[in-house]
Structure 1
Amino acid sequence: MTDGTEDVDSFRRRARTWIHANLRPLAPDETAAPTVALPVQTEEEELAALAREREIQCMVFDAGLAGIGFPREYGGQGLTADHQRAFNAEIVGYEYPARLQAPTFSPCGAVLLEFGTEEQKRRHIPAILKGEEIWMQLLSEPSGGSDVAAALTSAVRDGDEWILNGSKVWTTGASTADWGLCLARTNWDVPKHRGLTVFILPIHQPGIEVRRIEMLNGSTEFCQEFLTDVRVPDSDRIGDVDGGWTVGTRWMFHERMLFNSPFVSIPVGASPGEVGAASIVNVARDAGRFDDRCVRDLLGEAHMLELVGQTLRRRIGRGVAAGRISEQSAAITRLFAGVSSARKATIAFEIAGSAGAAWTSDDGAAANCVDDFLMRQTSCIGGGTTEMARNVISERVLGMPRERTPDRDRPFRDVPRSASTRA
């Protein structure tokens, strides 16, 4: 290009050469990203896997391939979404730092880039791109469900600092993360959306207790955090005081657009947290059911769901980037991803038959599909429920009348809630 920016074809060739020379190819039945039910690992295995992903991210940075969509002044490449898509195509079939992409690069890195101060961006974004900082979003709360604006975690001003108290939950990987992006309530005397502020804070510090949550498959990847008199300097505030909902709406936009994000490296066709169509083919193979016409129909359905999901993400992403459709349209991909992921987990379990629930060592990919089946609804809950996505689509995309809520214009202090959650 005339401005000196590397063209997409040249970038693709450079990326391909480096990937083939430096990253390990995956085995045919291996995936670089977890399925619905996060894999059970010992603490040593988890730390070793994370250390390897940090190492890979540092290698990618040194090769000039990290932070493709981040500006050059913060250590990124300053390139386009087309460059990111080219890289995503080239890493198919190779190891890559999957755990570092979400939520570290997006939504956390994206929110820092959009709302952070110059000092915050220069301090944290290069460290993120090098794999030195892993970030988590401290958003969901035990009492709030999907209503993140009903946050009860409080932040009280004390001179040049804020004192945070409260609890966050369902934070993936908080026990091994470095920093958190935290939504807290700074004003109880205004309606709930107007009294929120966003902060950044180190996760491992006095006053923060991180407890792992054991899932039905034995995984302890999810965590709950308890904040007790945690002091955060005002310099680590993101956006205006009581202006957290402005930050929060973009935060949730970046979360919904995750696999369309110009900041995230993820192999084309991969959907971390989902049972992929290719893995379902392996289930049918190892279950010995390829010749079953009903199974072939199910395989076709799974493949169709994956193709539609990929095409939908591209169409929504390009439409939003070009300004042709509302940013709220990201909820469409969120809804489809949740519903289709749950369906694909069900298809895999149906094909596996009895081996999905009770298996022997020679059942291969058909074994233990029950974990993904039992965990399938997490795809409709994590990252904002599909019910919330339906509301966004109906009200903000289709222009239907908004649902009436009794707390819209009431000071949050006066909104009825259980005695155990009152300020």
Structure 2
Amino acid sequence: MQTQRHRRMGFTMPAEVETVEDFQLRARTWLAENMPKAGSLPIREGIDPEEQVWLDARDLQKKLFAGGFAGICFPKEYGGQGLTRPHQAAFNQESADYEMPVVLNVPSLAICSAMLLDMGSEDQKQKYIRGAISGELVLCQFLSEPSGGSDLAGLLTRAQRDGDTYIINGQKCWSTNAFAADFATCLVRTDWDAPKHRGLSMIIVPVHDPATHLQRVQMVNGSREFCEEFFTDLVVPAENLVGVENDGWTVGQRQLFFERQAVGGGSAYTSGNARARNTGHDAITPASLATRVGKNSDSAVRELVGWSHANDVVNTQVIKRVTVGMTSGEYPAHASSIMRLTGAETNQLRNDIMFEIAGEEAVVADLNDQAVLRQTGVAYLMRQAGSLGGGSTEMSRNMISERVLMMPRELAADRDVPFRDVRRGR
């Protein structure tokens, strides 16, 4: 029964595993001997800082793979360690003071690889999951489109079958870190005569192909992590189809399940702990920020700090409870939307409170002399991102009401209409 329950979560509990205590001790020794301390990586001359992050991440992932600490919860047959969540938690604790390739967690490992573990062919698992775990490949996802964001099933990118290949034309947008990826799981339309949810297929496509024009999108915080892609007769082999043709909605829903888990903080496939670093905005809490700006004795500020901390504690407990419920089968897979929703709202509240504590200095602070204040202001500008990644909070609420609480579904007039007959913006 225990093995079946864990298999539903995307991994199998091995019959006999190394104890968590022995594993943690081994990890502690190996990390001290092999991994650089946080903040100690040298700057690569002539390399864009964002690109350096990815070059470093690949190198670090290769070290973890060689040392037997990559893909801790992934099966051994695909390059992982075949261990459990407690093993992963122990490794996260031990690795907190070291450089870790955390950018590879989302979407490469925790979303794309996790989905392929459940839905991919054996060849796809061997190539893409093993490649991602070993650091040889980085995966991303091509889902959203200008006309298909929240209404993902309304996408227009098409794939035409031509013998043993597919020819893809269309556009994707808001693709996280696609510039650094090698392959993407791409949701496309393969049947225009089927209703919109039943004419989709998931196909693995190369990111850097002459038939794909990729451009990066600069955000308000200066980041260029998001990309948009334009496909003009992109040819990919039919063997890159994930699952069954025209059943891409099933595959896509599984991928979104893992995205909600990852964004909500409940994924078994994320490794390392970015918030444990001693540098950067993630290391700053409302309490430490209040001390930095000299407001730690202000009763109103102390109330805000307490409010934020209470929400963090509740969110952590929600993640644990929902994870246990889904693992045991008590909760359906769609309960991952609960973690997604509470995580987004907790993060938004934290950023709101930190901005209120920092005050106007967070807007005008100098990047070099007052980096923490400046980063607090920038994080405030980007606070809504967590409410959009993995689907909007409104979508999460709908998912919880319809798929978890089993309330009546919203009316969808186009549900059974052939997609070519559905009215849409031109």
Post-superposition shift, 1:95?
A: 1.8
The 1-side partners of 2:360 and 2:104 are apart by 36
**Quick one: structure 1 residues 218 and 367, their matched pair in 2 at CA, closer, same or farther if it must change by over 3 Å?**
closer
Moved more, 394-403 or 277-286: 277-286
Aligned-partner SS, 1:288? coil
Aligned-partner SS, 2:61? helix
**For residues 138-217 of structure 1, what are the structure 2 equivalents within 5 Å?**
138-217=142-221
* AA matched with 1:164: I
**For residues 67-86 of structure 1, what are the structure 2 equivalents within 5 Å?**
67-86=71-90
1:389 aligns with 2:396: yes
**Quick one: structure 1 residues 2 and 93, their matched pair in 2 at CA, closer, same or farther if it must change by over 3 Å?**
closer
Check conservation: 1:12, 1:86, Cα contact below 8 A: yes
Q: How many residues align?
A: 406
Check conservation: 1:164, 1:227, Cα contact below 8 A: yes
Aligned-partner SS, 1:211? strand
1:406 aligns with 2:418: no
After superposition, the CA RMSD in angstroms is: 2.3
* AA matched with 2:23: F
Q: Identify the residue that residue 355 of structure 2 maps to in structure 1.
A: 349
1:318 aligns with 2:324: yes
Post-superposition shift, 1:300?
A: 1.3
Aligned-partner SS, 2:294? coil
**Quick one: structure 1 residues 311 and 411, their matched pair in 2 at CA, closer, same or farther if it must change by over 3 Å?**
same
Post-superposition shift, 1:291?
A: 1.2
Q: Identify the residue that residue 23 of structure 1 maps to in structure 2.
A: 35
Q: Identify the residue that residue 50 of structure 2 maps to in structure 1.
A: 46
* AA matched with 1:141: E
* AA matched with 2:92: N
Check conservation: 1:357, 1:368, Cα contact below 8 A: no
Check conservation: 2:140, 2:181, Cα contact below 8 A: yes
Check conservation: 2:221, 2:381, Cα contact below 8 A: no
Show CA shifts across 1:342-369 (max 9, x none): 1111111100012111124544522342
Aligned-partner SS, 1:141? coil
Aligned-partner SS, 1:123? helix
Post-superposition shift, 1:99?
A: 0.8
The 2-side partners of 1:343 and 1:2 are apart by 39
**Quick one: structure 1 residues 205 and 324, their matched pair in 2 at CA, closer, same or farther if it must change by over 3 Å?**
same
Check conservation: 1:286, 1:364, Cα contact below 8 A: no
Check conservation: 2:201, 2:245, Cα contact below 8 A: yes
1:380 aligns with 2:372: no
Show CA shifts across 1:47-98 (max 9, x none): 2221111111111111111111111111111112222222222222322101
The 2-side partners of 1:114 and 1:103 are apart by 15
Q: Identify the residue that residue 283 of structure 1 maps to in structure 2.
A: 289
* AA matched with 2:141: Q
1:358 aligns with 2:370: no
Check conservation: 2:110, 2:268, Cα contact below 8 A: no
Moved more, 16-25 or 245-254: 16-25
Aligned-partner SS, 1:250? helix
Q: Identify the residue that residue 7 of structure 1 maps to in structure 2.
A: 19
Post-superposition shift, 1:393?
A: 0.6
* AA matched with 1:415: V
The 2-side partners of 1:321 and 1:368 are apart by 37
Check conservation: 2:78, 2:126, Cα contact below 8 A: yes
Moved more, 95-104 or 262-271: 262-271
Task: Tell me the TM-score normalized by structure 2.
Answer: 0.90
Post-superposition shift, 1:25?
A: 3.4
Post-superposition shift, 1:122?
A: 1.3
Q: Identify the residue that residue 97 of structure 2 maps to in structure 1.
A: 93
The 1-side partners of 2:396 and 2:151 are apart by 12
Check conservation: 1:187, 1:242, Cα contact below 8 A: yes
**Quick one: structure 1 residues 332 and 275, their matched pair in 2 at CA, closer, same or farther if it must change by over 3 Å?**
farther
**Quick one: structure 1 residues 303 and 22, their matched pair in 2 at CA, closer, same or farther if it must change by over 3 Å?**
farther
Moved more, 338-347 or 359-368: 359-368
The 1-side partners of 2:407 and 2:328 are apart by 24
Q: Identify the residue that residue 237 of structure 1 maps to in structure 2.
A: 241
Moved more, 374-383 or 279-288: 279-288
Post-superposition shift, 1:336?
A: 0.8
Post-superposition shift, 1:3?
A: 5.0
Post-superposition shift, 1:308?
A: 1.6
1:265 aligns with 2:261: no
Aligned-partner SS, 1:257? helix
Q: Identify the residue that residue 35 of structure 1 maps to in structure 2.
A: none
| Runs of at least 5 residues in structure 2 that lack an aligned partner in the other structure | 1-12
Show CA shifts across 1:382-410 (max 9, x none): 21100000000111111111100111111
Show CA shifts across 1:149-194 (max 9, x none): 1111101100110011111111111112111010000011111111
* AA matched with 1:373: Y
Post-superposition shift, 1:124?
A: 1.9
* AA matched with 1:83: H
